Chain A
Amino acid sequence: MAYPDDRRYTKDHEWIRVSGDTAEVGITDYAQQQLGDVVYVELPEVGAHVTAGQPFGTIESVKAVSELVAPMGGQVVEVNNHLKQHPEVVNNDPHASWMIKVRVANPGEAAALLDSAQYQKLLG
């Protein structure tokens, strides 16, 4: 699967797509492959603050629990509640399955994250 150029990536295998002062956050195709079948996603409430590099939720596959790590800091303005009923879409279409939308404190921080080419190099 391709890693789109319209967003940034982290070493923890999340992606973030910044548009103006808000950003969508999800996990990468590599992450979903490593997890296996996703069965549960636990996300913060709207209004919660997330901090760059800190966990903002958890994702569970049949076999394991993983923490979701925020690529950038800010306030949660929307949560993808569809994933609570249909966590499997994270496997089917990880790069379209945003989990939270964040009003980012400092959109410029995105430049410090990995671009598509750098992320794919990380995956090797």
Chain B
Amino acid sequence: MTVANASHERNPNDPNASNAPNEPNLLRKTPLNARHHASGARMVPFAGWEMPLEYAGITSEHMAVRTRAGLFDVSHMGEVEIAGRDALAAVQRIVCSDPAQLRVGHAQYTGLLTPDGTFLDDLIVYRLAPTHFLLVVNASNAEKDYAWISEQVKAAGDAVAVDSSSRYALLALQGPAALDVLQPLTGVELAAIPAFGFAYGEVAGARATIARTGYTGEDGFEIFVPPNMADRVWQAILESGRSAGVVAAGLGARDTLRLEAGMRLFGNDIDESTTVLEAGLGWIVGWTNERFIGRDPLLRQKEQGVTRRLVGLEMIDPGIARHGYRVLQDGRPVGVVTSGTQTPYLKKAIGMAYVPVALARSGTEIAIDIRGRAARARVVPMPFYKRRT
């Protein structure tokens, strides 16, 4: 048995997912590293960090999140804070949504764009105070993002950007049982936090910011705590959730969950060669924000229309479309698969691919070159999975 596709996979468990060093002794460790080892997690290099890929197995962790809840260590994510009198203008320059529309205590999913309107990264921006924002970015881009953001903020007047990644551990509790499991550990009334809202309080005795955000398609919370409190909070949540069947979940399940939920992964589905509109993320653009970098080319593309689009696909023939596989039409390559897996919950082979707009309509039959075999697939709407609310 030999791994056949390591060269073109760029998924969360892939050691080549970023340019960061992946030699074991150079890997960075989250405050929960020892806990993961003690739990028997399979640890892998990811974006320069040693992270848990899976504990009991991707499928069972995936199902736990869909039916109960799972707890993820996402402390590798990068945090950048921007503060100062002109912080709003600075953030408006950096992100493609309109943070002016963002009330204090709320967050939005957005993009950090190049001057061409393509993705430097995707991120969540939290408005902590009128002149204080928190940006949570992908681990693989954290250094690049911070350098770019610092540069842009300098030009924006009275504002400063600070890399505060080392000040936060980040835990994500995701799944239908998340609220009931977390509530006994905090005085914050969790039900009062709306989707994409956040509140301050304590969790298991630790000072925390509790956000109703996530990357799984389920209800849930992302909990920012001081690094030295991470293990205590982690243990308390698992203990609180034991009878409800809450389990620790790794990056493997995080990837299959986000894919079922139709969420894009930077480095797979979006990158510096793809625009917000091509990625089907036009809804994140805040056109009322006239300051953001990349706005002009994006506006032109909006007026002229895109030539290719990211679509959801579902395999008709047996096989799994993987990152980097070609999309064929009449035997000719016309596009590329960006993500794909056999999903544990839907039990179907699904994926995302860039295809010419002529093939982007739902129901269109396309073919995927699966290691030399043309396997039929169908374009389907995303998300593949939507929770019942």
Contact = CB atoms under 8 A, between A and B. Distances in A.
Given A36-B252, A39-B342, A66 B2 contact: yes
B320 A40 contact: yes
B2 A62 contact: no
Contacts of A64: 3, 5-6, 9, 13
A58 B54 CA distance: 22
A13 B256 contact: no
B57 interface: yes
A60 interface: yes
Contacts of B322: 65
Interface in B316-369: 318-320, 322, 341-342, 344, 349
A62 B5 contact: no
A62 B256 contact: yes
Contacts of B13: 63-64
Contact of B320 (A39, A69, A91): A39
A37 interface: yes
B132 to A, nearest CB: 39
Contacts of A27: 1
Contacts of A69: 1-2
Nearest to B252: A63
A64 B13 CA distance: 9
B3 A66 contact: yes
A78 interface: no
Given A60-B320, A62-B344, A63-B252, A12 B1 contact: yes
Contacts of B344: 37, 62
B207 interface: no
A110 interface: no
Given A62-B252, A62-B256, A36 B54 contact: yes
Nearest to A31: B1
B149 to A, nearest CB: 32
B1 A68 contact: yes
Contacts of A91: 57
- Interface SS of chain A: strand
Nearest to A30: B1
A115 interface: no
Interface in A1-40: 12-14, 27, 31, 35-37, 39-40
A62 B371 contact: no
B4 A65 contact: yes
Interface centre among B2, B9, B53, B252 (most CB of A within 10 A): B2
B318 A42 contact: yes
Contacts of A36: 42, 53-54, 57-58, 252
Contact of A59 (B1, B57, B252): B1
Interface string A49-67: 0000001001111111111
A34 to B, nearest CB: 8
A69 B255 CA distance: 28
Interface in B37-91: 42, 53-54, 57-59
A6 B386 CA distance: 49
Interface of A: 12-14, 27, 31, 35-37, 39-40, 42, 55, 58-69, 84, 91
7 contacts: A12-B2, A27-B1, A39-B342, A40-B319, A60-B320, A65-B322, A66-B3
For the complex of A and B, 5 pairs with smallest distance between CB atoms = A39-B342, A37-B59, A65-B5, A62-B58, A67-B4
Given A40-B319, A91-B57, 20 more contacts: A35-B1, A36-B42, A36-B53, A40-B349, A42-B318, A60-B320, A62-B341, A62-B342, A63-B13, A63-B53, A63-B252, A63-B255, A63-B341, A64-B3, A64-B13, A65-B3, A65-B5, A65-B320, A65-B322, A66-B3
